[in-house]
Each structure stands twice: as C-alpha cells, then as structure tokens.
Amino acid sequence: MDFWVKKIHDGFLKLYSSLTKNVGGKRTFSIEELFCKSVNPVHNSSILHYVKTSFEKFPLTLKEQSVNIVKVCTQQCECVLAHRIRRGHQMFSLYTRLWDEVALKELLRKMRQQLSKRGKEVLFSAVGISVYNWEKERISDQELYGHLDEIQHIYRLREKTVTCPECRKRTVIDSPLSNIDYCSCGNDKNCVNNSVHDWQPFLEREDILVWRKECDQCQGLYIYKVYGRYEEITAEDFMKVQVDTDFRMLWDNTAVNLKVVEKDTCSNSDIVYWEMQWPRLFSNRDYVYNRRYLIDEEKNTIVIINKGTNHPNIPTKPDNHRVTDYWSIMVIRADNSIDKPGMEFSLTYFDNPGVSVPSSVATWIAMSGLPDFQIRLRQAARDYKLYNHDIEFNRPKEDNLGSSQPTPVPEQPVPTQVNASNSSLMYLKQFHVWQLFV
C-alpha cells in the first residue's frame, strides 16, 4: 500500500500544491501534510478518501482558475506568434533585398547591352520621347504616292530616247549587247538627240539602262536615272535588300558603319546613318538620311524615298566628311505579285560628295562602277531568302527540358575592305557605287 501512496503523491504533488492552498476561502491541507499524517497504514483510508474528494472538487477548482489559465495560454500564444511574424518579416525583407539586387543588376546589364548596340534612341524610345521632329521632317504621303507611276515615265523615256521611230528597234547607247535587236536603218543618232526633260541616254548593260542630266544647282554634277528588270527576283526581296542594314553590311565591302538611328513605325520611316570607306588620302564620307517606303499591293508597286537630314544624336565627326546634299527615289513594280519572281525598278538619285572631279574622269568612273554595283546588288537580292533562312535556323532552340540551346552560327565571309594602296580611280569607282545605292 505504501507503494501506491507514493505513486499518488508523486503524480498529484505539483497540481494540488497550487490548487488546494485556498479553495473558496477555506483552508485545505496540502499533500505534504496529508502524507505526513498518512504514512502509517492506519491512515491509508483517509488518503484515499482525500484523493477521491479532491477529484470531485477538481472541476470546481479548474473552473475558478480557468480565467488565469486562459490568460497564461493567450500570453504564450501571442509571444510565439509575434516571434514567428518577426522571423517571417526578417526573411521576407532579406529575400526581397536579394531579389531586388539581382534584378537590378540584370536590368542594368541589359540596358548597357542595348545602349551599346543602338545608342541614345533606346532611352528616348523607352519613355516615348523622340529627339527627331517627325511631324516636320517626315516624308509626306503625297510625295510617296506621286511616284507610283514612275515606271510608266520610264517607258515613255525609253520610247523617246532609245527607240527608233521608224523600225521601233532599240538604238545603241554606248556599246551593243548580244541579246538585243538594234536599229539598222541609220536613225539612231536622231533618237539619242531626242531628250525628255533633259534626260540623256548614258549607258546600257545587261538588264539595265541609265540616263543622266546635269544638275541645275551644282554645275558639273549629274542626276542619274537607272532602269532595270530582273526576272528571277521578287519585288519584296529587292525592297528588303534596300532597307535591311544588317544584310548590307555583309555584302557591301565599302560599309564601315550602317545603322538605323531612330524609327517611326507608324509611317515605315527610319533615320539611317551610313559611313563609307574612302582611301587613305581622303576622309570617309558619311550620310544621315530620312528613309520612308510605301507598299501599294493594288498596283504591286513599292516606293522608297531617301533624303539627307540632320539628327541630334549623330553629330559630324572631325575625321569624316558629312554629305548633306543628297536624295534618291526607288520605285519597284512586280509583274504579278510582290512575292513572286519578276520585277522591274527605277532609281533616280543625286548627291554631292564634296570633291571636284574632271568631267571625263567622272564619266569613266560612272560607266565602270555602276555595272559592278548592279551585279552585286542583283546577287544580294538572289541570296536574301537564304540569308533569312540561315537567321531563322540559327535562332536558339528549346530542348526537351525547356531550356534554350543556341545553335552554332556558321562563319560569315568577312567583307574585304578596299586596300588603301589602290589607285584613286578605284576609290572613285567605289564612291559612285555608293551614289547608286543611296
């Protein structure tokens, strides 16, 4: 019996030591006092009676002390909850700062890449501000639509200046071509003398005709008009060769720098900067021009107009000569559809490079440099679809896990720049090649 008494004593000592001190204003005996009185087997029945009585009074005691118990539990829960909230806030603040730092570094890195590629226009476009006055300088719709019938004007010009009025055959301009049936009635001299608006036949090569006339404002300089017809090229590809600056950097070995400075996407307008390499004894020529194009699908005709302009982000360079007196008009007409092979074009252009060349030398340069440029331009138009296919093929592709895997890019042929030790005549030929493009 002593064993069970000790067990009961050990089990309820702590509980009743606090609850049985004073219940209902009446003093009760502690367990120590009861234990001291009941260690004798004689008093065992009294202990059991007390335990039974205590159990019966336990609900009443618990009810009276419930408020204190609830307060203690509430304080403990509040303490634990406050600790958890504080730790959670600290962790949130830490990860937020870390994420902000990483995101900020990534944003700055991308901005630096964009600025290094495009320059200040990225910043202005990001906030919707243009540094170029498009409302004032934009090439007008009226000017674009006014050249839709340029090919018809070419037909009339060809009829009046290089066609015999009697036999209706072509007349020889500078040298005959094997695939053309020329006039043999002896009236070709009279045909050449029949100019239209001062346009004089200048030269003829495979699939191209060229006229020129002297500029009224710049004596000794000429305005050129080129007509060509290519059966194997689409009008769309021929147009894109004119406006794709990245592609031109691949096939034009005179291009030192060529980039779009600013865009006006709502009107298909661009501000383009071009630097052309000249030989060592001369300064490189650079151009800043406003370009806009129009695609008229009803007439299967494309019009591209370029005009020299100024842009605040492209100041003049001390080592280059800025060409400001420049303009060009290109009209491309498809035989059936702009995305089907078969097209003809007209290019009318003028620029003043700021260098004086004797008339005989300028004529020789034009007659030798122009055909070379047209051959390379034609080949570039043939290769444009393959160029686009290579770009699409070399885009990064996603693997099965969703990660981006870049495809190895095949080496591109590096354009061979002109050797400065070549003669000045070679430089002048290249200068005229640029004249034809812009």
pLDDT for residue 279: 74
CB of 24 within 8 A of CB of 18?
no
Residues 226, 334 within the same domain: yes
Is the confidence at residue 355, as pLDDT, over 60? yes
Q: Which residue has the higher pLDDT, 9 or 331?
A: 331
Domain range for 15 is: 2-87
Residues 164, 252 within the same domain: yes
Residues 72, 207 within the same domain: no
Residues 389, 274 within the same domain: yes
φ, ψ of residue 242 in degrees (nearest 5): -75, -35
The percentage of the chain sitting over the pLDDT mark of 70, rounded to a whole number, equals 69
Is the confidence at residue 306, as pLDDT, over 60? yes
The reply to whether 345 falls in a domain is yes
CATH number of the domain at 288, please.
Answer: 3.30.530.20
pLDDT for residue 89: 79
Residues 83, 142 within the same domain: no
pLDDT for residue 86: 85
- Which band of pLDDT confidence, cut at 50, 70 and 90, is reported for residue 91? confident
Residues 156, 289 within the same domain: yes
The reply to whether 406 falls in a domain is no
Q: How far apart are CA 371 and CA 436, in angstroms?
A: 10
Mean pLDDT, range 302-319, rounded to an integer = 94
Nearest alpha carbon to residue 380 among 208, 246, 288, 209: 246
pLDDT for residue 281: 79
The reply to whether 403 falls in a domain is no
The reply to whether 387 falls in a domain is yes
The reply to whether 43 falls in a domain is yes
Inter-CA distances, 274 with 258, 288, 353, 429, Å: 4, 7, 13, 18
CB atoms inside a 10 Å sphere around CB 170: 20
Residues 333, 246 within the same domain: yes
Q: How far apart are CA 177 and CA 159, in angstroms?
A: 18
* Residue that finishes a domain, picked among 87, 118, 152: 87
**How many helical (H) and strand (E) elements, i.e. helices and strands, does the chain have?**
12, 14
* Residue that finishes a domain, picked among 25, 53, 87: 87
The reply to whether 294 falls in a domain is yes
* Residue that finishes a domain, picked among 46, 68, 87: 87
- Which band of pLDDT confidence, cut at 50, 70 and 90, is reported for residue 12? low
The reply to whether 404 falls in a domain is no
Is the confidence at residue 183, as pLDDT, over 90? no
The reply to whether 104 falls in a domain is no
Q: Which residue has the higher pLDDT, 310 or 417?
A: 310
φ, ψ of residue 376 in degrees (nearest 5): -70, -35
What's the structural domain count of the chain? 2
pLDDT for residue 87: 84
Q: Which residue has the higher pLDDT, 171 or 146?
A: 146
Residues 328, 425 within the same domain: yes
